[in-house]
Amino acid sequence: MAKWTPKHEAPEPLEGPVVATITGGTILWFVLFLVQVPFYGWFDDRDLTWWVWTCLAGAGLGLIGIWYVRKRDAAIKRHEARQRAEQSQP
C-alpha cells in the first residue's frame, strides 16, 4: 500500500473574528440548554436527556474555548508588537 502524499501545498489558515465566533457559539449552546430545561420531563420520557446535557457541555467547552482564543489573540498581538519593535531598532 502506497503512502498518500499531497499534490499541492495546504492553503494558509483563515483568520477572522475568532473570539466573537467562539463567544457566539457558546451563547447559542447555552440558549439551547435553557430552552430545553423546561421540557426535561419530555426528554426523560423518551430517553433523550443527553440532548439537554450535550447543550450544557457545549456551553462549558465554549467557555474554555473563549479563554483559549483570548489568550491566543493576546499572544499573537504580543509577538507582532515584538517583531515591530525589533524591526524599528537599528
For residue 2, the model assigns a pLDDT of: 66
Give residue 89's pLDDT. Answer: 78
Question: pTM score, two decimals?
Answer: 0.77
Residue 5 pLDDT more than 80? no
Residue range 41-90, pLDDT digits in tens: 999 999 999 999 999 999 999 999 999 999 999 999 999 999 999 888 76
Q: Is 51:43 a contact under the CB 8 Å cutoff?
A: yes
User: What pLDDT score does 1 carry?
Assistant: 56
